[in-house]
Amino acid sequence: MVLLQISEPGQSPEPHQRRRAVGIDLGTTNSLVATVRSGTPETLLDNEQQHLLPSVVHYGDAGDVTVGRLAYDQSSDDPLNTLISVKRFMGRGIEDIKTLGSQLPYEMIASDSGMPNFKTVAGAISPVAASAEILKVLVGRAEQALDGALDGAVITVPAYFDEAQRQATKDAATLAGVKVLRLLNEPTAAAVAYGLDQGGEGVIAVYDLGGGTFDISILRLSHGVFEVLSTGGDSALGGDDFDRAVAQWIAEQAGLEDNLDPSQQRKLLIEARKAKESLSECQQVELTVAGWSGVLERQQLDALIDPLIDKTLRACKRALRDAALKPEDVVNVVMVGGSTRTLRVRDKVTKAFGREPLVNIDPDRVVAIGAALQADVLVGNKSGDDMLLLDVIPLSLGLETMGGLMEKIIHRNTTIPVAKAQDFTTFKDGQTAMSIHVLQGERELISDCRSLARFELRGIPPMVAGAAKIRVSFQVDADGLLNVSAKELASGIEAHIEVKPSYGLNDEDVTRMLKESYTHARDDMQVRALREQQVDADRMYEDLAAALKEDGRKLLNDNEFHCLEVALKDLDEVRHSENHREIARHIEMVAKTSEEFAARRMNASIQRALAGHSLDEVEKDV
């Protein structure tokens, strides 16, 4: 008897052969790579037995590129060519980073892509290219540990990364030669690690405070399903800001001048970071900087960083409100990111949620571990039935409609991947093209939202206003990337666009858009109602004016024609006013006055259609 080799679903057809997959935490301060071996996730070590790779890239005079600790060691002596925290610049515009001002020890120059480039001895270096160098080192470490080329990687990103920032991350992976299985939100990756290892159930909060970004995600865990209920955070807030607050205090105490050169700034930040980390284990630390000696106590550190921690807690409150939950509804709080080692952070999070947070998995490694578990599933080593991830989009996506209104197609906190469609129509008779304006935001007017892309649908068959049916479809994939298409259903003509904005939202924009959506909710509803009434009045005015011009004298006597003319004139006078009740009253009055005229036009249209046809022919057609 001959045996036929088969394989289980999701498994390799070759016995005992596992595909090589890794999870990569591409962090602001540190990065690392993990994989699953013998069913256990583990982070991979470098030749010096270190898990963490500092996210630092140095460019030398001879064209050499150094990544990691060796690069970090050169940051004080050669700050302009040593790139630190490049993740903060991913998918951003040159205008977005000007708010950081003197805090940046770099020379930044604009580029054609819209993202800022770093001016180095090696030329203009983009954040994407620098991130690719970090990824190359991590991939090399993984290939050495796994003894072969990788079949794919799951790369984590902050939950608050928008389309531009996610696309920039994917571009960096492509540049590094990495096959991306999926971009995974960092808080969700942490939930994977804790949920699978501990079998957690119920609602959890993932508090992720890294070197340069903060994320809060509220998730529901149930029978292996991870559903993100809401997200929030700040894409430019993290441990680096703690360091800057301490450095500012040291500079003031030491009487240092404000206009420190880049090398002095970097040295000051290094000392500030060392002091902050020391105060996680002791009550005070002695400092010696530029001839000044002093003491920084933990109480003083707490006072310096409290305003920054409070910003994260406000984001936590908003995320809970979005999920319609209270702090007491949260079963567990998971701490992620090296900055959560700061004792003040843990104390304030404990008080805010009314429970001790989980810290039994290394907060620096938990994200990479969760990504590795997901990669193991996606590459086919483990059945996908073991895990289901349901991420959400952070801000609503929609289109501009008449009156400058934002029509939301996919609302914020909708689970992804998702595809939604909505039908629209033409506004004017004979309209053969339509401009599609894609937007992101929570407000009702497009002027208060962010423009993502524009494209046109041409070739619409000329019809009367309102007759054409244009279906606009939005698709957000598992990585949070958006595609929009528009199709005229009668003719089948179609146009589409892959939304790749040149740069992402800055932290002020994100905070403003969410905050204003709450504070202006009532006003926005009133403005939207007014604009909709104005659009209805415009449409009624144009339709009736055209009808009177064409058939008014043929179907109406002089008195009837005059009455409609007066009603139409009155509508014209109020249709652009700010009194929506007055507009609505005139719309209703014109509608009633024109009912008989509309009925006569319809009858005349039917008679013209039946002219020359016998009753038998009509019944046969029916």
Catalytic residue among 87, 267, 276, 487: 87
Q: Give the whole-angstrom CA distance, residue 116 versus residue 125.
A: 9
Catalytic residue among 96, 208, 215, 391: 208
CA geometry: angle 609, 553, 431, nearest 5 deg: 60
User: In which region does residue 418 sit, left (phi positive, over 0), alpha (psi from -120 to 50) or beta (all else)?
Assistant: beta
> Looking up tokens 């043929």, which residue turns up?
554
DSSP state of 532: H
Contacting residues for 526 by C-beta, under 8 A, at least 6 apart:
580
Q: Give the whole-angstrom CA distance, residue 271 versus residue 3.
A: 67
Q: Give the whole-angstrom CA distance, residue 66 versus residue 58.
A: 5
> Looking up tokens 């009055």, which residue turns up?
589
Q: Based on the residue annotation, tell me whether 208 is a catalytic residue of this protein.
A: yes
For residue 582, give both structure tokens.
């007055």
DSSP state of 552: I
- Cβ(165)–Cβ(481) below 8 Å: no
Reduced to 3 states (helix: H, G, I; strand: E, B; else coil), residue 189 is helix
Q: Give the whole-angstrom CA distance, residue 454 versus residue 439.
A: 9
- Cβ(363)–Cβ(49) below 8 Å: no
Catalytic residue among 162, 163, 171, 186: 186
Instruction: Report the DSSP beta bridge partners of residue 152.
Output: 21
Q: Based on the residue annotation, tell me whether 536 is a catalytic residue of this protein.
A: no
Q: Based on the residue annotation, tell me whether 252 is a catalytic residue of this protein.
A: no
For residue 441, give both structure tokens.
């935001």
Q: How many CB atoms lie within 10 A of CB 365?
A: 21
Reduced to 3 states (helix: H, G, I; strand: E, B; else coil), residue 498 is strand
- Cβ(6)–Cβ(138) below 8 Å: no
Helix extents (H) in 51-126 = 69-73
Q: What crossing angle do the helices spanning 558-574 and 580-593 adopt, rounded to 10°?
A: 160
For residue 49, give both structure tokens.
């037995």
Q: Give the whole-angstrom CA distance, residue 23 versus residue 369.
A: 7
Q: Based on the residue annotation, tell me whether 186 is a catalytic residue of this protein.
A: yes
> Which of 509, 562, 29 has its CA nearest to residue 243?
29
Q: How many CB atoms lie within 10 A of CB 328?
A: 9
- Cβ(24)–Cβ(33) below 8 Å: yes
Q: Give me the active site residues, please.
A: 25, 87, 186, 208
